[in-house]
Chain A
Amino acid sequence: MIHQYQLNGYNIVIDVCSGSVHAVDEVAYDVIADFEQKTKDEILASLGEKYAAVDGITPAEIAECYDQVQQLKEEGLLFAPDTFAPMAGELKQKTAGVVKALCLHVAHTCNLNCSYCFASQGKYHGDRAVMSFEVGKRALDFLIENSGTRHNLEVDFFGGEPLMNFDVVKKLVAYARSIEAEHGKNFRFTLTTNGVLIDQDVIDFCNAEMSNVVLSLDGRKEVHDRYRVDYAGNGSWERIVPKFQQLVEARGGKNYYMRGTFTHQNPDFLADIQQMLDLGFTELSMEPVVCAPNDPAELTAEDRRIVMEQYEKLASLMLKREKEGKPFTFYHYMIDLTDGPCIYKRISGCGSGTEYMAVTPWGDLYPCHQFVGDEKYRLGDVWTGVTNKAAQREFGECNVYARPECADCWAKLYCSGGCAANAYHATGSVKGVYQAGCDPFRKRMECAIMLAVARSDEE
Protein backbone atom coordinates (compact mmCIF):
# COMPACT_ATOMS: atom_id res chain seq x y z
CA MET A 1 0.00 0.00 0.00
CA ILE A 2 1.26 3.47 -0.85
CA HIS A 3 0.08 6.99 -0.10
CA GLN A 4 1.09 9.87 -2.31
CA TYR A 5 0.39 13.54 -1.76
CA GLN A 6 1.62 16.98 -2.67
CA LEU A 7 2.34 19.52 0.04
CA ASN A 8 4.38 22.69 0.26
CA GLY A 9 5.84 22.09 -3.21
CA TYR A 10 6.92 18.52 -2.48
CA ASN A 11 5.68 15.32 -4.14
CA ILE A 12 5.79 12.67 -1.45
CA VAL A 13 5.22 8.93 -1.59
CA ILE A 14 4.89 6.86 1.58
CA ASP A 15 5.24 3.12 1.31
CA VAL A 16 3.14 2.04 4.25
CA CYS A 17 4.41 -1.43 5.00
CA SER A 18 8.13 -0.87 4.53
CA GLY A 19 7.96 2.50 6.30
CA SER A 20 9.80 4.11 3.37
CA VAL A 21 9.39 7.75 2.41
CA HIS A 22 10.25 9.01 -1.06
CA ALA A 23 10.47 12.57 -2.36
CA VAL A 24 9.85 12.34 -6.10
CA ASP A 25 9.60 14.55 -9.16
CA GLU A 26 6.40 14.90 -11.16
CA VAL A 27 7.19 12.13 -13.60
CA ALA A 28 7.91 9.63 -10.84
CA TYR A 29 4.78 10.79 -9.03
CA ASP A 30 2.74 9.93 -12.12
CA VAL A 31 4.54 6.64 -12.77
CA ILE A 32 3.95 5.50 -9.20
CA ALA A 33 0.26 6.48 -9.34
CA ASP A 34 -0.28 4.16 -12.32
CA PHE A 35 2.30 1.49 -11.53
CA GLU A 36 0.00 -1.14 -10.05
CA GLN A 37 -2.93 -0.45 -12.35
CA LYS A 38 -1.36 -0.27 -15.82
CA THR A 39 1.25 -2.06 -17.88
CA LYS A 40 4.63 -0.51 -18.56
CA ASP A 41 3.66 0.21 -22.17
CA GLU A 42 0.42 1.90 -21.12
CA ILE A 43 2.25 4.09 -18.60
CA LEU A 44 4.97 5.08 -21.06
CA ALA A 45 2.36 5.90 -23.70
CA SER A 46 0.13 8.03 -21.48
CA LEU A 47 2.97 9.90 -19.81
CA GLY A 48 4.77 10.32 -23.14
CA GLU A 49 1.69 12.16 -24.31
CA LYS A 50 1.31 14.18 -21.13
CA TYR A 51 4.93 15.37 -21.12
CA ALA A 52 5.39 15.67 -24.92
CA ALA A 53 5.61 19.44 -24.76
CA VAL A 54 7.84 19.57 -21.67
CA ASP A 55 11.53 20.18 -22.30
CA GLY A 56 13.85 17.52 -20.93
CA ILE A 57 11.20 14.89 -20.34
CA THR A 58 11.72 12.50 -23.20
CA PRO A 59 10.20 9.03 -23.59
CA ALA A 60 13.62 7.63 -22.65
CA GLU A 61 13.57 9.69 -19.47
CA ILE A 62 10.13 8.38 -18.54
CA ALA A 63 11.27 4.82 -19.21
CA GLU A 64 14.30 5.37 -16.98
CA CYS A 65 12.02 6.66 -14.25
CA TYR A 66 9.82 3.59 -14.62
CA ASP A 67 12.88 1.40 -14.10
CA GLN A 68 13.79 3.31 -10.93
CA VAL A 69 10.31 2.64 -9.55
CA GLN A 70 10.61 -1.03 -10.51
CA GLN A 71 13.98 -1.18 -8.75
CA LEU A 72 12.52 0.24 -5.52
CA LYS A 73 9.71 -2.29 -5.66
CA GLU A 74 12.23 -5.11 -6.02
CA GLU A 75 14.15 -3.74 -3.03
CA GLY A 76 10.96 -3.81 -0.94
CA LEU A 77 10.80 -0.04 -0.62
CA LEU A 78 7.69 0.50 -2.75
CA PHE A 79 4.46 -1.50 -2.86
CA ALA A 80 5.71 -3.70 -0.02
CA PRO A 81 3.04 -6.25 0.91
CA ASP A 82 1.30 -6.14 4.28
CA THR A 83 2.63 -9.18 6.10
CA PHE A 84 2.06 -7.95 9.64
CA ALA A 85 -1.50 -9.13 10.36
CA PRO A 86 -0.41 -12.47 11.86
CA MET A 87 1.76 -10.59 14.37
CA ALA A 88 -1.11 -8.41 15.50
CA GLY A 89 -1.62 -9.76 19.00
CA GLU A 90 1.92 -11.01 19.48
CA LEU A 91 3.44 -8.16 21.41
CA LYS A 92 0.61 -7.88 23.91
CA GLN A 93 0.59 -11.64 24.44
CA LYS A 94 4.33 -11.60 24.97
CA THR A 95 4.11 -8.77 27.48
CA ALA A 96 0.82 -9.73 29.16
CA GLY A 97 0.85 -8.81 32.82
CA VAL A 98 3.69 -6.31 32.50
CA VAL A 99 2.87 -2.78 33.65
CA LYS A 100 5.35 -0.03 32.91
CA ALA A 101 3.46 3.23 33.30
CA LEU A 102 0.97 4.67 35.74
CA CYS A 103 -1.03 7.86 35.68
CA LEU A 104 -1.42 8.77 39.34
CA HIS A 105 -4.52 10.84 39.98
CA VAL A 106 -3.12 12.52 43.03
CA ALA A 107 -5.92 15.09 43.15
CA HIS A 108 -9.49 14.64 42.03
CA THR A 109 -10.07 18.30 42.60
CA CYS A 110 -9.04 21.46 40.82
CA ASN A 111 -8.59 25.14 41.49
CA LEU A 112 -9.91 25.98 38.04
CA ASN A 113 -13.41 25.35 36.73
CA CYS A 114 -12.93 24.75 33.00
CA SER A 115 -16.26 23.78 31.48
CA TYR A 116 -14.60 21.83 28.65
CA CYS A 117 -12.67 19.57 31.05
CA PHE A 118 -13.07 15.89 30.12
CA ALA A 119 -12.51 15.11 33.81
CA SER A 120 -15.48 17.25 34.92
CA GLN A 121 -13.40 19.85 36.74
CA GLY A 122 -11.10 17.17 38.07
CA LYS A 123 -13.77 15.14 39.85
CA TYR A 124 -14.17 12.52 37.12
CA HIS A 125 -17.92 12.50 37.75
CA GLY A 126 -17.29 11.44 41.38
CA ASP A 127 -16.34 12.98 44.69
CA ARG A 128 -13.50 15.36 45.31
CA ALA A 129 -10.50 13.60 46.82
CA VAL A 130 -6.74 13.64 47.09
CA MET A 131 -4.45 10.63 47.10
CA SER A 132 -2.76 9.77 50.38
CA PHE A 133 0.93 8.95 50.50
CA GLU A 134 0.05 5.38 51.50
CA VAL A 135 -2.08 4.82 48.39
CA GLY A 136 0.54 6.41 46.15
CA LYS A 137 3.34 4.38 47.74
CA ARG A 138 1.38 1.19 47.19
CA ALA A 139 0.82 2.21 43.55
CA LEU A 140 4.58 2.61 43.05
CA ASP A 141 5.20 -0.77 44.68
CA PHE A 142 2.51 -2.28 42.43
CA LEU A 143 4.29 -0.81 39.41
CA ILE A 144 7.66 -2.23 40.40
CA GLU A 145 6.18 -5.64 41.26
CA ASN A 146 4.47 -5.87 37.88
CA SER A 147 7.11 -4.31 35.64
CA GLY A 148 9.00 -7.49 34.82
CA THR A 149 12.28 -6.70 33.13
CA ARG A 150 11.32 -3.14 32.13
CA HIS A 151 13.96 -0.66 33.18
CA ASN A 152 12.20 2.62 32.43
CA LEU A 153 9.03 3.14 34.45
CA GLU A 154 6.85 6.17 33.79
CA VAL A 155 4.71 7.88 36.37
CA ASP A 156 2.55 10.85 35.53
CA PHE A 157 1.20 13.05 38.31
CA PHE A 158 -2.20 14.03 37.05
CA GLY A 159 -5.51 15.34 38.25
CA GLY A 160 -7.51 17.46 38.59
CA GLU A 161 -4.67 19.66 39.60
CA PRO A 162 -1.77 17.63 41.04
CA LEU A 163 -0.16 20.64 42.71
CA MET A 164 -3.14 20.71 45.08
CA ASN A 165 -1.49 17.64 46.60
CA PHE A 166 2.11 18.70 46.10
CA ASP A 167 3.45 17.40 49.42
CA VAL A 168 2.36 13.89 48.50
CA VAL A 169 3.90 14.27 45.04
CA LYS A 170 7.22 15.17 46.65
CA LYS A 171 7.06 12.28 49.12
CA LEU A 172 6.19 9.81 46.37
CA VAL A 173 9.10 10.93 44.22
CA ALA A 174 11.44 10.62 47.20
CA TYR A 175 10.10 7.14 47.89
CA ALA A 176 10.52 6.06 44.26
CA ARG A 177 14.08 7.40 44.17
CA SER A 178 14.88 5.51 47.37
CA ILE A 179 13.93 2.13 45.88
CA GLU A 180 14.64 2.39 42.14
CA ALA A 181 18.31 1.36 42.22
CA GLU A 182 17.77 -1.76 44.32
CA HIS A 183 15.11 -2.90 41.86
CA GLY A 184 17.10 -1.95 38.75
CA LYS A 185 14.52 0.61 37.63
CA ASN A 186 14.59 4.17 36.38
CA PHE A 187 11.54 6.26 37.22
CA ARG A 188 10.62 8.99 34.78
CA PHE A 189 8.13 11.44 36.19
CA THR A 190 5.81 13.84 34.42
CA LEU A 191 3.63 16.50 36.00
CA THR A 192 0.66 18.07 34.23
CA THR A 193 -0.44 21.38 35.74
CA ASN A 194 -2.67 24.38 35.14
CA GLY A 195 0.04 26.56 36.65
CA VAL A 196 -1.96 28.34 39.34
CA LEU A 197 0.11 26.97 42.24
CA ILE A 198 3.54 27.18 40.64
CA ASP A 199 6.06 28.86 42.91
CA GLN A 200 9.84 28.69 43.33
CA ASP A 201 9.58 25.47 45.35
CA VAL A 202 7.55 23.80 42.58
CA ILE A 203 9.95 25.07 39.93
CA ASP A 204 13.02 23.77 41.76
CA PHE A 205 11.39 20.43 42.42
CA CYS A 206 10.14 19.97 38.85
CA ASN A 207 13.48 20.86 37.37
CA ALA A 208 15.24 18.40 39.65
CA GLU A 209 12.84 15.49 39.37
CA MET A 210 10.42 15.73 36.44
CA SER A 211 11.54 14.31 33.09
CA ASN A 212 8.71 16.28 31.55
CA VAL A 213 6.31 18.98 32.62
CA VAL A 214 3.06 19.59 30.77
CA LEU A 215 1.77 23.13 31.17
CA SER A 216 -1.82 23.88 30.21
CA LEU A 217 -2.15 27.07 28.18
CA ASP A 218 -4.63 27.59 25.37
CA GLY A 219 -2.73 30.43 23.68
CA ARG A 220 -4.38 33.82 23.22
CA LYS A 221 -5.64 35.40 26.44
CA GLU A 222 -9.22 35.70 25.24
CA VAL A 223 -9.21 32.06 24.09
CA HIS A 224 -7.61 30.75 27.27
CA ASP A 225 -9.84 32.79 29.57
CA ARG A 226 -13.04 31.67 27.86
CA TYR A 227 -12.74 28.22 29.46
CA ARG A 228 -9.85 28.27 31.90
CA VAL A 229 -11.46 30.23 34.72
CA ASP A 230 -11.48 29.96 38.51
CA TYR A 231 -14.63 29.32 40.53
CA ALA A 232 -15.34 33.06 40.62
CA GLY A 233 -15.28 33.08 36.83
CA ASN A 234 -11.99 34.96 36.51
CA GLY A 235 -9.66 34.00 33.69
CA SER A 236 -6.32 32.48 34.70
CA TRP A 237 -4.07 33.67 31.82
CA GLU A 238 -2.60 36.70 33.59
CA ARG A 239 -1.81 34.66 36.68
CA ILE A 240 -0.21 31.65 35.07
CA VAL A 241 1.75 32.96 32.08
CA PRO A 242 4.52 34.62 34.16
CA LYS A 243 4.79 31.44 36.26
CA PHE A 244 5.11 29.28 33.16
CA GLN A 245 7.76 31.63 31.77
CA GLN A 246 9.67 31.45 35.02
CA LEU A 247 9.47 27.65 35.13
CA VAL A 248 10.52 27.18 31.51
CA GLU A 249 13.41 29.60 31.82
CA ALA A 250 14.67 27.73 34.86
CA ARG A 251 14.20 24.39 33.17
CA GLY A 252 17.46 24.72 31.29
CA GLY A 253 16.49 22.74 28.22
CA LYS A 254 14.78 19.85 30.00
CA ASN A 255 11.56 18.58 28.42
CA TYR A 256 8.36 20.49 28.77
CA TYR A 257 5.25 21.05 26.67
CA MET A 258 2.90 23.98 26.53
CA ARG A 259 -0.28 22.06 25.95
CA GLY A 260 -3.35 23.79 24.60
CA THR A 261 -6.81 22.73 23.55
CA PHE A 262 -8.67 24.10 20.56
CA THR A 263 -12.45 24.13 20.38
CA HIS A 264 -15.26 25.59 18.31
CA GLN A 265 -14.15 28.96 19.68
CA ASN A 266 -10.63 28.76 18.19
CA PRO A 267 -10.33 26.42 15.22
CA ASP A 268 -7.82 29.05 13.97
CA PHE A 269 -5.41 27.68 16.57
CA LEU A 270 -2.30 28.81 14.71
CA ALA A 271 -2.89 32.22 16.29
CA ASP A 272 -2.62 30.50 19.67
CA ILE A 273 0.59 28.77 18.64
CA GLN A 274 1.90 32.17 17.56
CA GLN A 275 0.94 33.60 20.94
CA MET A 276 2.86 30.83 22.72
CA LEU A 277 5.89 31.58 20.55
CA ASP A 278 5.59 35.30 21.29
CA LEU A 279 5.65 34.44 24.99
CA GLY A 280 8.96 32.61 24.48
CA PHE A 281 7.71 29.01 24.56
CA THR A 282 9.07 26.62 21.93
CA GLU A 283 7.87 23.11 22.88
CA LEU A 284 4.23 23.13 21.92
CA SER A 285 1.20 20.90 21.66
CA MET A 286 -2.35 21.82 20.67
CA GLU A 287 -5.08 19.22 20.86
CA PRO A 288 -8.63 19.10 19.54
CA VAL A 289 -11.16 19.23 22.36
CA VAL A 290 -12.64 15.92 23.50
CA CYS A 291 -16.24 16.54 24.53
CA ALA A 292 -19.75 15.17 24.36
CA PRO A 293 -21.76 15.61 21.15
CA ASN A 294 -23.52 19.00 20.93
CA ASP A 295 -21.29 20.51 23.61
CA PRO A 296 -20.72 24.21 22.78
CA ALA A 297 -16.99 23.44 22.50
CA GLU A 298 -17.51 20.73 19.87
CA LEU A 299 -15.80 21.34 16.53
CA THR A 300 -18.22 21.72 13.61
CA ALA A 301 -17.61 20.50 10.07
CA GLU A 302 -16.56 24.03 9.09
CA ASP A 303 -14.21 24.19 12.10
CA ARG A 304 -12.63 20.92 11.00
CA ARG A 305 -12.02 22.34 7.53
CA ILE A 306 -10.27 25.31 9.10
CA VAL A 307 -8.24 23.02 11.36
CA MET A 308 -6.93 21.10 8.37
CA GLU A 309 -5.71 24.35 6.80
CA GLN A 310 -4.18 25.40 10.09
CA TYR A 311 -2.11 22.22 10.26
CA GLU A 312 -0.61 22.98 6.83
CA LYS A 313 0.09 26.59 7.74
CA LEU A 314 1.67 25.46 10.99
CA ALA A 315 4.08 23.22 9.08
CA SER A 316 5.01 26.13 6.80
CA LEU A 317 5.57 28.37 9.82
CA MET A 318 7.88 25.77 11.35
CA LEU A 319 10.00 25.64 8.20
CA LYS A 320 10.11 29.42 7.98
CA ARG A 321 11.22 29.79 11.58
CA GLU A 322 13.82 27.04 11.22
CA LYS A 323 15.35 28.97 8.32
CA GLU A 324 15.33 32.10 10.48
CA GLY A 325 17.12 30.26 13.28
CA LYS A 326 14.05 30.33 15.54
CA PRO A 327 12.88 26.69 15.51
CA PHE A 328 10.09 25.28 17.64
CA THR A 329 8.63 21.86 18.27
CA PHE A 330 5.05 20.76 17.72
CA TYR A 331 4.32 17.50 19.52
CA HIS A 332 2.37 15.89 16.69
CA TYR A 333 4.97 16.78 14.09
CA MET A 334 7.75 15.00 15.92
CA ILE A 335 8.54 11.97 13.84
CA ASP A 336 11.71 9.98 13.98
CA LEU A 337 11.99 8.17 10.67
CA THR A 338 15.28 6.44 11.40
CA ASP A 339 14.82 5.54 15.06
CA GLY A 340 11.08 5.52 15.59
CA PRO A 341 8.90 2.74 16.92
CA CYS A 342 9.34 -0.87 15.80
CA ILE A 343 6.59 -2.68 13.97
CA TYR A 344 5.33 -4.34 17.16
CA LYS A 345 4.71 -0.96 18.76
CA ARG A 346 3.14 0.39 15.58
CA ILE A 347 0.67 -2.46 15.53
CA SER A 348 -0.21 -2.67 19.19
CA GLY A 349 -0.77 0.97 20.07
CA CYS A 350 -0.73 2.89 23.29
CA GLY A 351 -0.86 0.12 25.86
CA SER A 352 -3.80 1.49 27.83
CA GLY A 353 -5.30 -1.14 30.12
CA THR A 354 -2.32 -3.42 29.73
CA GLU A 355 1.06 -1.78 30.26
CA TYR A 356 -0.44 1.59 31.19
CA MET A 357 -3.09 2.24 33.84
CA ALA A 358 -4.54 5.11 35.80
CA VAL A 359 -4.79 5.04 39.60
CA THR A 360 -7.52 6.98 41.42
CA PRO A 361 -7.03 8.69 44.79
CA TRP A 362 -8.57 5.57 46.35
CA GLY A 363 -6.15 3.19 44.62
CA ASP A 364 -8.54 1.86 42.00
CA LEU A 365 -7.06 0.90 38.64
CA TYR A 366 -8.54 1.98 35.32
CA PRO A 367 -7.28 1.37 31.76
CA CYS A 368 -6.28 5.02 31.39
CA HIS A 369 -7.11 8.47 32.74
CA GLN A 370 -10.00 8.84 30.29
CA PHE A 371 -11.83 5.78 31.69
CA VAL A 372 -11.64 6.83 35.32
CA GLY A 373 -15.11 6.97 36.84
CA ASP A 374 -16.62 4.45 34.42
CA GLU A 375 -17.36 1.53 36.77
CA LYS A 376 -17.56 -0.95 33.91
CA TYR A 377 -13.89 -0.39 33.27
CA ARG A 378 -12.62 -0.47 36.86
CA LEU A 379 -9.88 -3.07 36.48
CA GLY A 380 -9.08 -3.68 40.15
CA ASP A 381 -6.92 -1.89 42.70
CA VAL A 382 -3.28 -1.47 43.62
CA TRP A 383 -3.51 -3.98 46.49
CA THR A 384 -5.07 -6.95 44.70
CA GLY A 385 -4.10 -6.05 41.14
CA VAL A 386 -6.26 -6.54 38.08
CA THR A 387 -9.37 -8.57 38.89
CA ASN A 388 -11.63 -7.44 36.04
CA LYS A 389 -9.92 -9.72 33.53
CA ALA A 390 -12.75 -9.41 31.00
CA ALA A 391 -12.30 -5.65 30.73
CA GLN A 392 -8.53 -5.98 30.52
CA ARG A 393 -8.91 -8.59 27.79
CA GLU A 394 -10.70 -6.01 25.62
CA PHE A 395 -7.63 -3.80 25.83
CA GLY A 396 -5.30 -6.73 25.29
CA GLU A 397 -7.10 -7.42 22.04
CA CYS A 398 -6.75 -3.82 20.85
CA ASN A 399 -4.44 -3.46 17.91
CA VAL A 400 -4.66 -1.89 14.50
CA TYR A 401 -5.61 -5.14 12.79
CA ALA A 402 -8.51 -5.62 15.22
CA ARG A 403 -10.16 -2.58 13.63
CA PRO A 404 -11.51 -3.44 10.16
CA GLU A 405 -12.04 0.27 9.46
CA CYS A 406 -8.25 0.73 9.53
CA ALA A 407 -7.44 -2.00 7.00
CA ASP A 408 -7.14 0.31 4.01
CA CYS A 409 -5.84 3.38 5.83
CA TRP A 410 -2.34 4.45 4.82
CA ALA A 411 -1.73 5.96 8.27
CA LYS A 412 -2.49 2.80 10.25
CA LEU A 413 1.12 2.12 11.19
CA TYR A 414 1.56 5.69 12.43
CA CYS A 415 -1.68 5.77 14.41
CA SER A 416 -2.05 2.15 15.46
CA GLY A 417 -5.82 2.44 15.48
CA GLY A 418 -6.02 5.50 17.68
CA CYS A 419 -7.20 6.24 21.18
CA ALA A 420 -9.28 3.51 22.85
CA ALA A 421 -11.08 6.06 25.02
CA ASN A 422 -12.04 8.26 22.10
CA ALA A 423 -13.20 5.13 20.26
CA TYR A 424 -15.26 3.98 23.23
CA HIS A 425 -16.93 7.34 23.70
CA ALA A 426 -17.70 7.65 19.99
CA THR A 427 -18.75 4.09 19.20
CA GLY A 428 -19.36 2.24 22.47
CA SER A 429 -16.40 -0.08 21.83
CA VAL A 430 -12.74 0.31 22.68
CA LYS A 431 -12.05 -1.50 19.41
CA GLY A 432 -14.12 1.00 17.45
CA VAL A 433 -12.69 3.93 15.54
CA TYR A 434 -13.08 7.60 16.46
CA GLN A 435 -13.68 8.66 12.87
CA ALA A 436 -13.64 12.40 13.63
CA GLY A 437 -10.01 12.03 14.66
CA CYS A 438 -8.90 10.25 11.51
CA ASP A 439 -8.65 13.09 9.00
CA PRO A 440 -6.81 15.40 11.42
CA PHE A 441 -4.43 12.58 12.30
CA ARG A 442 -3.69 11.85 8.64
CA LYS A 443 -3.14 15.54 7.98
CA ARG A 444 -0.71 15.78 10.89
CA MET A 445 1.25 12.81 9.55
CA GLU A 446 1.35 14.32 6.06
CA CYS A 447 2.72 17.53 7.56
CA ALA A 448 5.21 15.74 9.81
CA ILE A 449 6.58 13.71 6.91
CA MET A 450 6.68 16.76 4.64
CA LEU A 451 8.81 18.49 7.29
CA ALA A 452 11.16 15.49 7.31
CA VAL A 453 11.42 15.70 3.51
CA ALA A 454 12.04 19.44 3.62
CA ARG A 455 14.73 19.05 6.26
CA SER A 456 16.42 16.33 4.22
CA ASP A 457 16.52 18.85 1.38
CA GLU A 458 18.46 21.25 3.59
CA GLU A 459 21.08 18.66 4.52
Chain B
Amino acid sequence: MKHIKTLKTRKLCAGKGGCGECQTSCQSACKTSCGVANQKCEAKK
Protein backbone atom coordinates (compact mmCIF):
# COMPACT_ATOMS: atom_id res chain seq x y z
CA MET B 1 0.00 0.00 0.00
CA LYS B 2 1.29 3.45 -0.91
CA HIS B 3 1.18 5.73 2.09
CA ILE B 4 2.75 8.79 0.54
CA LYS B 5 1.86 10.77 -2.55
CA THR B 6 4.65 13.14 -3.57
CA LEU B 7 3.60 16.16 -5.58
CA LYS B 8 5.64 17.23 -8.55
CA THR B 9 7.81 20.13 -7.38
CA ARG B 10 10.82 22.06 -8.57
CA LYS B 11 13.81 20.58 -6.79
CA LEU B 12 15.78 23.25 -5.01
CA CYS B 13 19.43 22.91 -5.81
CA ALA B 14 22.48 25.10 -6.06
CA GLY B 15 23.87 26.01 -9.43
CA LYS B 16 20.53 26.24 -11.20
CA GLY B 17 18.88 29.63 -11.47
CA GLY B 18 19.76 33.15 -10.49
CA CYS B 19 19.16 34.80 -13.87
CA GLY B 20 17.13 37.60 -12.23
CA GLU B 21 14.48 37.81 -14.95
CA CYS B 22 11.62 37.09 -12.55
CA GLN B 23 9.37 39.78 -11.19
CA THR B 24 10.42 41.77 -8.16
CA SER B 25 8.41 40.32 -5.38
CA CYS B 26 5.94 42.94 -4.30
CA GLN B 27 5.62 44.83 -7.55
CA SER B 28 2.54 43.08 -8.81
CA ALA B 29 -0.15 43.45 -6.20
CA CYS B 30 0.47 43.52 -2.53
CA LYS B 31 2.85 46.45 -2.07
CA THR B 32 2.95 45.85 1.66
CA SER B 33 3.86 42.26 2.43
CA CYS B 34 6.23 40.46 0.19
CA GLY B 35 7.07 36.83 -0.14
CA VAL B 36 8.65 34.99 -3.00
CA ALA B 37 6.43 31.92 -3.10
CA ASN B 38 4.04 33.22 -5.69
CA GLN B 39 6.68 34.34 -8.15
CA LYS B 40 6.98 32.52 -11.41
CA CYS B 41 10.35 31.52 -12.82
CA GLU B 42 11.05 33.47 -16.00
CA ALA B 43 14.35 31.91 -16.96
CA LYS B 44 14.56 31.24 -20.67
CA LYS B 45 14.13 27.52 -21.01
Q: Chain A, 81-97, contact with B by CB distance < 8 Å: what is the 0/1 string?
A: 00110010011001100
Please list the 4 inter-chain residue pairs (A to B) with the smallest Cβ-Cβ separation, ordered nearest first.
Answer: A342-B17, A350-B25, A344-B18, A28-B3
Chain A, range 1-36, C-beta contacts under 8 Å to B: 17-25, 27-28, 31
Q: When the two chains form their complex, are residues A337 and B9 in contact, meaning their CB atoms are under 8 A apart?
A: yes
Q: When the two chains form their complex, are residues B24 and A100 in contact, meaning their CB atoms are under 8 A apart?
A: yes
Nearest to A453 among chain B residues (CB) is B7
Report the minimum CB–CB distance from B25 to chain A (whole Å). 4
Q: When the two chains form their complex, are residues B29 and A95 in contact, meaning their CB atoms are under 8 A apart?
A: no
Nearest to B5 among chain A residues (CB) is A23
19 further A-B contacts with Cβ under 8 Å, apart from A285-B29, A331-B29, A341-B37, are A19-B9, A19-B12, A20-B7, A20-B11, A21-B9, A22-B5, A24-B4, A100-B24, A158-B31, A336-B41, A338-B8, A340-B39, A341-B41, A345-B17, A349-B25, A352-B24, A355-B20, A413-B12, A418-B35
Q: CA A17 – CA B13 in complex, angstroms?
A: 9
The one of A18, A19, A118, A415 in contact with B32, judged by C-beta atoms closer than 8 angstroms, is A118
Q: When the two chains form their complex, are residues B4 and A154 in contact, meaning their CB atoms are under 8 A apart?
A: no
Report the minimum CB–CB distance from B3 to chain A (whole Å). 4
Q: Report how many residues on chain A are interfacial, defined by Cβ distance under 8 Å.
A: 89
Chain B residue contacts of A55, Cβ below 8 A: none
Q: When the two chains form their complex, are residues A414 and B35 in contact, meaning their CB atoms are under 8 A apart?
A: yes
Q: Give the one of A345, A346, A437 with max B CB within 10 A.
A: A345
Q: When the two chains form their complex, are residues A65 and B10 in contact, meaning their CB atoms are under 8 A apart?
A: no
Q: When the two chains form their complex, are residues A18 and B12 in contact, meaning their CB atoms are under 8 A apart?
A: yes
A72 contacts B by Cβ under 8 Å: yes
Q: When the two chains form their complex, are residues B7 and A452 in contact, meaning their CB atoms are under 8 A apart?
A: yes
Q: List 9 A-B contacts (CB under 8 A).
A: A17-B12, A24-B3, A65-B4, A68-B4, A84-B12, A84-B14, A259-B31, A340-B40, A355-B20
Q: When the two chains form their complex, are residues A356 and B27 in contact, meaning their CB atoms are under 8 A apart?
A: yes
Chain A residue contacts of B25, Cβ below 8 A: 349-351, 416
Chain A residue contacts of B1, Cβ below 8 A: 61, 64-65
Nearest to A437 among chain B residues (CB) is B33
Report the minimum CB–CB distance from A156 to chain B (whole Å). 6
Q: CA A150 – CA B9 in complex, angstroms?
A: 26
Chain B residue contacts of A448, Cβ below 8 A: 37-38
Report the minimum CB–CB distance from B14 to chain A (whole Å). 6
The one of A84, A91, A335, A355 in contact with B18, judged by C-beta atoms closer than 8 angstroms, is A91
Q: Give the one of B7, B29, B42 with max A CB within 10 A.
A: B29
Q: When the two chains form their complex, are residues A259 and B30 in contact, meaning their CB atoms are under 8 A apart?
A: yes
Chain B residue contacts of A392, Cβ below 8 A: none
Q: Give the one of B23, B25, B27 with max A CB within 10 A.
A: B27
The one of A19, A23, A287, A335 in contact with B30, judged by C-beta atoms closer than 8 angstroms, is A287
Report the minimum CB–CB distance from B40 to chain A (whole Å). 6
Q: CA A318 – CA B26 in complex, angstroms?
A: 23
Q: With contacts A61-B1, A212-B28, A416-B35 known, is A337 near B8, CB below 8 A?
A: yes
Chain A, range 310-346, C-beta contacts under 8 Å to B: 331-346
Chain A residue contacts of B24, Cβ below 8 A: 100-101, 154, 350-352, 355-356
A308 contacts B by Cβ under 8 Å: no
A422 contacts B by Cβ under 8 Å: yes
Q: When the two chains form their complex, are residues B3 and A346 in contact, meaning their CB atoms are under 8 A apart?
A: no
Q: When the two chains form their complex, are residues B32 and A422 in contact, meaning their CB atoms are under 8 A apart?
A: yes
The one of A61, A287, A338 in contact with B9, judged by C-beta atoms closer than 8 angstroms, is A338
